[in-house]
Amino acid sequence: MPGSPIKVLLQTTIPTTADDWCIARFSLLGQFLREQRRNGAPLFEVTMRDRESLGAPDSVLSTLDRSRFDEMWLFAADVGNGLTAADCAAISRFLRQGRGLLLTRDHMDLGSSICDLGGVGEAHHFHSRNLDPDAARCAPDDTITTSISWPNFHSGANGDYQEIRAIAPLHPVLTNPNAAGGAIRFLPAHPHEGDVSAPANQDARVIAEGRSKATGRPFNIAVAFDPNSGRGPAIAESSFHHFADYNWDLSRGCPSFVAEPPGATMTQEPNALLDTHRYVLNLALWLAGSAP
């Protein structure tokens, strides 16, 4: 009904595991969305969940097309086994119904189950699945954490910000009328981001670009799939660390396997978190078919 809140599902591809990137580690994202108001009323109704188990269809993901959600943000933290065929089929129907989808993952093969999602999943490149057609990108970028191979673009330490470049023409999710130039400039950094590109056979384009602190090479941050008659709006994002608590506020902690020394510039640059919040708000509105 008119004025009802936008229903957002924040979902991971792993069962609840305290020492991993489960949905509890995205609590600041959920909190920020829940705090947004329009004419005094909540702008978003947020549901946050992990998948129930591995190896069987998830009760929500496998029926997503029959749900009341307007959009889903899928944080793929699995090792290739995070989505079943039934989950993928329902997510694809959800998108074809005109509803919004954000797909994000991380380095190497982390989150590679999203390759089973046609269309938007094709924008994500991994170490052993759907390799980047640009062979130059199939090489290590972060050479500090040697246990993690490509794709692993080094945009900075966890806890630091990175400067990004909005690709012209400026996409609505990158707008910020309060920023110099009217575009979002800062996002959280991560030592080994994933690899996304615009599939040649899709109505999609790269809308934001980062630059490696290790090699100086540019890499893609986000790919937008504008809505059309057969698909709702969608975003392929290079790393879920742009949305994780630890990358917004180091005091929130991280899983024990995170070994890289953190930075601190997210708290030193006032516009870093402001830009990040604006990006999140823009995404949530655009994925629901609303103008940011």
Instruction: Please state, rounded to an integer, the average pLDDT across all residues of the chain.
Output: 96
**Pairing status of strand 6-12 against strand 44-49:** parallel
pTM listed for this prediction: 0.97
Q: Residue 44, by phi and psi: left (phi above 0), alpha (psi -120 to 50) or beta?
A: beta
Buried b (16+ CB within 10 A) or exposed e, 115-146: bbbebbbbbbbbbeebebeeeebeebbbeebe
> What percent of the chain is modeled with pLDDT above 90?
93
First to last CA, the chain: 20
> For 32-43, how does the pLDDT look when each residue is reduced to its tens digit (9 = 90+)?
999 999 999 999
Distance of alpha carbon 246 from the chain centroid: 15
Q: What is the mean pLDDT of residues 126-134?
A: 96
Domain range list for the chain: 6-287
Confidence of residue 2 (pLDDT cuts 50, 70, 90): low
Q: What is the rounded CA–CA span in Å between residue 182 and residue 44?
A: 25
- Identify the CATH number of the domain defined by range 6-287: 3.40.50.880
> For 68-106, how does the pLDDT look when each residue is reduced to its tens digit (9 = 90+)?
999 999 999 999 999 999 999 999 999 999 999 999 999
Structure tokens at 205: 């384009």
